[in-house]
Structure 1
Amino acid sequence: MRYSFLAPALALAFASSVFADADAPPSDVLSLTAADFDDIVNPEPLILVEFFAPWCGHCKALAPHYEEAATELKEKNIKLAKVDCVDQADLCQANGIGGYPQSLPAVSTVTAENHVELQSSDKVVAIAYVSDPSDPLAAEFAKTADAHRDDYLFGQSSDPQVLASLGVSAPALIVYRSFDAPSVEYPYPIASATPKDIAEWLAELAIPIIDEVNGDNYAVYAQSQKPLAYLFLDPSDEGKDAKLAEIKPVAEKFKSKVNFVWIDAVKFGDHGKALNLPEAKWPSFVVQDLEKQLKYPYDQSKEVSAAAVEEWVQQYLDDKLTPELKSEPIPESQDESVFTLVGKQFEEVVFDDSKDVFVEFYATWCGHCKRLKPTWDNLGDHFATQKDKILIAKMEATENDLPPSVPFRVQGFPTLKFKPAGGREWLDYEGDRGFDSLVAYVTEHAKNDLTKVVVPEEEPAQVPLGGASENTSTETPEHNEL
């Protein structure tokens, strides 16, 4: 019995099922039952079988994509099938299905007939070549495939004809790619390869030397934990391809330490502003430390040449660059009970050891932040007579960068952080955002002795959050950022 799980580009599309109705056109997805399962699946060199339940929300949501994939792959003689686990409960149980949607197993069987076709079936294809399925590499490879079935396409071959055609000795592991070097063999001792070793090697190979970044693949770069070097280009510029070709050797040189991408400067101009590029002038270049959220923009008045980019990245790696911190102007006055923080004065104000500090990090466009504002203003009013002991503050986090000395980065809005007086430790506030709860929290965690203050009788009404995430606004901001 041979199945396949195709990934990563089609992973989401394949992780679904199709629910046809009487008026729907004929489906290219095969419907399998216990009576015909083995007869249809076993002869196929490459087939994807989706186990689903009609009531499964994820299955329903992704069903159209699965149908489209079946039609597209039909031309390559790759079949997609489905099994209704409500109607075919015994068949699903026999295949160890415990959730929906699910495809098993993660490794395709590779033969002389499908070997060449499989190599180009996805952006990244990893194939293990073993002399016998009981080879230790097969077990470690299967563990890797099971953990990363949503990321890559995996195959395994013990076909002597396949091994002979490649001229390699088993055991061996080769990755085939649709970009850069088309095939790369595992360069380390294969006998001691662990799932962690294989996964890390795959993650490195899965990222091109330089590729366009957008909303679809940004998470791949974010998860890599490497600094990200952006080359902002105008796609309509006749010199775009030449500039990419010029920068590519530099990107290849630093591949093991920094990921390089190019980005549509017209579409994602606001992301350039977020990276502290003040002008809409292209090409432009900036390095971002994703872990610390620090930005190192290259001077936009200078030419972005290969030599300049190479020197800039090397200085970054040598820790010779100073991050550029975005900051709004320091307010001329602080007339409100809630102190307005900006990047330029953050350390000076917040690290005043005599005061407890409670900060709301917000974004102007964030709906949850707007709803919290009346309560936060009330909290400032409540402690207004004790400003020498407690500072209630707010900072527009998309317009002001935190200095490197701050041990956290804002990931969602609003984010509430409390710093007791006399220390450097920050506490995450994750409780109820009602006025009484906030007051109680400050009183409990403050190092200073805060005088009891009469709570205002009335508080502006709070709009229910409606079940949305507390940490991330569900509204779509009117700006183009990744």
Structure 2
Amino acid sequence: MRISSKLTLALAALLPALTSVVASDVLDLAEDTFKGEVFDQDLALVEFFAPWCGHCKNLAPHYEEAATELQKKGIKLAKVDCTEHQNLCQEYGVNGYPTLKVFRNGTPADYSGPRKADGIISYMIKQSLPAVSDVTSSSHAEFIKSDKVVLVAYGDASHPVPSAYSELANSARDTYLFGQYTDSSLPSIPESPSLPAIVLYKSFDEGHSVFPASEIGNLDSEPGLLQEFIKINSVPLLDEISPENFGTYAEQGLPIAYLFADPSESESRDKLIEEIKPVAKANKGKINFVFIDAIKFIDHGKSLNLPGDSWPAFVIQDLAAQTKFPLTEPPSGKSIKTFVEKFVKGEIKASTKSAPIPATQNEPVYTLVADDWDNLFGDEKKDVFAEFYAPWCGHCQRLAPIWDTLGEKYTADSNIVIAKMDATENDIPPAAPFRVQGFPTLKFKAAGSSEFIDYNGDRSFDSLVEFVETHKKSTSGGNSTTGDDDEEVWEDEDAPEHDEL
């Protein structure tokens, strides 16, 4: 029997897809196979996904790569298509895609690790081990290289490992790999410290850091000493930052010093990085130094008050205080050294981005900018209800006509101000007692008060008016008018796509 050429072509086109399915190391589960494949496993990772989900598509190759590597260690990775198995996904509380859950003998827990192959592998290996692994002379060499950051405590019967080490391991096992070596035949320990000893092994910089022997005896009474040691030594001296590792730096709680550079000019960038390394080393534990792709993450640079049209550029960001300190001159080893020294001493003033102060305020809603902050909020006679928005925010766009109507209602009362601030063009001043975390953010400051009250109600006109009338403290500066009917509460909208940290 002859096979037509059209059928031959169709089969040829289908073959790669069939091969991919056959070769997959990710188990494809359904209601009737789920428990049999997952519940008898000491450890398994399951992805609940939808075929149309863009994030799921981005995760797929990383998940597949991790599955191939982790099956060597007896750890299953599986997936469930929630468009086909809705009841199963509902049973496990899936309300977004992808949702990843770690199963231990059938008991689920949320996966909180990275979504790149190496991060998934690292996270699941940590999950597969006890909080503190027993390390022997035969496993030592492999263990200290099994992750980017590995801690090993060394001790014996006469010099026991402090209990604070095990306690920290229990709370930080998702982040770091902990081992304990109590074999009578000790391996070669870096810098040959006396027992007990704690060494942090790392796949970057000098390769290891030894916890100070003089502080070992204080750990049980001051466990924070070990936490601080790990925090300082668990990130590279100067590495590239991206969405994949940004969380690691954010968790450190230290200011981040960014070198924004054009990757196409790698030679000059690398030269500058070498000039900066001594500065990074001198400030280790005070500031984390990184470099970043200025072209790909140009919006992040602009959010840090860099002009966005000249590279390289240097800026320090204090995440805790949400303040930014851009270097205003061309970066060099010398200029960055001087700038960092002044920053550490508190001699650099934070940069506050502001749109120009409007020449007139003729609209019913007051246009607030950062440079006009004290003028508006410093007036003790006025009640101020302010919206902090982003032009691209769907919620903000729908609120705009209601907010304008609210402003019109109080136009006749000069002591009640309805205001708005474009938070993409203006920074909240460092002295303000709050930071904007989402859009729109609505804050009310009553006359004679320094407190900013959050508005968390629905965004209908009547609800907003009721809130103002309940919280206002000013003496009426005129008569207000009646407003419009309620506005329906809306659904969420996505922001435009762009590269972010």
Which of the five TM-score ranges fits, normalised by the shorter chain? 0.7 to 0.9
For the residue of structure 2 that corresponds to 1:422, the secondary structure is coil
2:496 to 460, 477, 480: 477
1:228 partner letter: I
The 3 A distance-change label for structure 1 pair 94 and 328 is closer
1:113 corresponds in structure 2 to 138
Gaps of 5+ in 2: 1-20, 28-39, 51-55, 79-87, 89-101, 112-126
1:380 aligns with 2:400: no
The answer to whether the 8 Å contact 2:239/2:289 transfers is: yes
Farther off after superposition, 217-226 or 436-445: 217-226
2:94 corresponds in structure 1 to none
2:238 partner letter: I
Distance 1:164 1:298 in 2: 45
2:458 partner letter: D
Distance 1:292 1:278 in 2: 22
Deviation of 1:141 (Å): 2.2
Deviation of 1:147 (Å): 1.2
1:366 to 393, 412, 420: 393
Deviation of 1:162 (Å): 4.0
1:263 partner letter: I
1:226 aligns with 2:254: yes
1:71 aligns with 2:68: yes
1:242 to 268, 271, 274: 271
Distance 2:103 2:306 in 1: 56
2:181 corresponds in structure 1 to 157
1:347 partner letter: D
Percent identity among equivalent residues? 44
1:293-332 superposed matches below 5 A: 293-299=322-328, 302-332=329-359
1:189 aligns with 2:182: no
The 3 A distance-change label for structure 1 pair 442 and 94 is closer
1:80 aligns with 2:109: no
For the residue of structure 2 that corresponds to 1:384, the secondary structure is coil
Distance 2:301 2:70 in 1: 38
Deviation of 1:201 (Å): 1.8
The answer to whether the 8 Å contact 2:395/2:490 transfers is: no
For the residue of structure 2 that corresponds to 1:307, the secondary structure is helix
1:440-479 superposed matches below 5 A: 440-449=466-475, 453=480, 455-459=482-486, 461-465=487-491, 468=492, 475-479=494-498
1:337-352 superposed matches below 5 A: 337-352=364-379
Distance 1:206 1:164 in 2: 21
Distance 2:428 2:47 in 1: 48
The answer to whether the 8 Å contact 1:50/1:82 transfers is: no
For the residue of structure 2 that corresponds to 1:175, the secondary structure is strand
The answer to whether the 8 Å contact 2:459/2:489 transfers is: no
1:202 aligns with 2:230: yes
2:43 corresponds in structure 1 to 50
1:140 to 164, 180, 202: 164
Distance 2:443 2:307 in 1: 29
2:82 corresponds in structure 1 to none
2:298 corresponds in structure 1 to 269
Deviation of 1:346 (Å): 1.3
The Cα RMSD (Å) is 3.7
The 3 A distance-change label for structure 1 pair 72 and 94 is closer
Distance 1:464 1:243 in 2: 50
Deviation of 1:464 (Å): 2.1
1:280 to 296, 309, 316: 309
2:75 partner letter: L
Farther off after superposition, 186-195 or 229-238: 186-195
2:147 corresponds in structure 1 to 122
1:336 aligns with 2:363: yes
For the residue of structure 2 that corresponds to 1:285, the secondary structure is strand
Deviation of 1:270 (Å): 1.7
Q: Could you tell me the TM-score, scaled by structure 2's length?
A: 0.75
Deviation of 1:80 (Å): 2.8
The 3 A distance-change label for structure 1 pair 354 and 211 is same
Deviation of 1:363 (Å): 1.0
Query: Can you list the C-alpha shifts for 1:377-398, whole angstroms capped at 9, x where unaligned?
Result: 2221221211x21111000111
Distance 2:157 2:107 in 1: 27
Q: Structure 1 stretches (4+) deviating beyond 6 angstroms? A: 52-57, 61-64, 92-96
1:439 partner letter: V
Distance 1:240 1:56 in 2: 40
1:247 partner letter: I
Distance 1:378 1:196 in 2: 54
2:445 to 387, 405, 419: 419
1:257 aligns with 2:276: no
The answer to whether the 8 Å contact 2:26/2:77 transfers is: no
1:12 corresponds in structure 2 to none
1:398 to 424, 448, 452: 424
The 3 A distance-change label for structure 1 pair 179 and 273 is same
The 3 A distance-change label for structure 1 pair 449 and 230 is same
1:477 partner letter: P
Farther off after superposition, 321-330 or 173-182: 321-330
Distance 2:157 2:75 in 1: 28
The answer to whether the 8 Å contact 1:129/1:163 transfers is: no
Distance 2:411 2:170 in 1: 57
Distance 2:207 2:245 in 1: 20
2:368 partner letter: L
The answer to whether the 8 Å contact 1:328/1:400 transfers is: yes
The answer to whether the 8 Å contact 1:28/1:80 transfers is: no
The answer to whether the 8 Å contact 2:352/2:428 transfers is: yes
Query: Can you list the C-alpha shifts for 1:178-217, whole angstroms capped at 9, x where unaligned?
Result: 1112111111522331443322321221122111112122
Deviation of 1:97 (Å): 5.6
The 3 A distance-change label for structure 1 pair 71 and 52 is closer
Query: Can you list the C-alpha shifts for 1:295-353, whole angstroms capped at 9, x where unaligned?
Result: 22112xx4311111011111122222222221111223222211110112111122111
Distance 1:111 1:70 in 2: 28
Gaps of 5+ in 1: 1-22, 30-39, 41-47, 87-91, 469-473
Distance 1:27 1:69 in 2: 9
Q: Could you tell me the TM-score, scaled by structure 1's length?
A: 0.78
The answer to whether the 8 Å contact 2:304/2:326 transfers is: yes
Distance 2:443 2:314 in 1: 33
Distance 1:427 1:317 in 2: 34
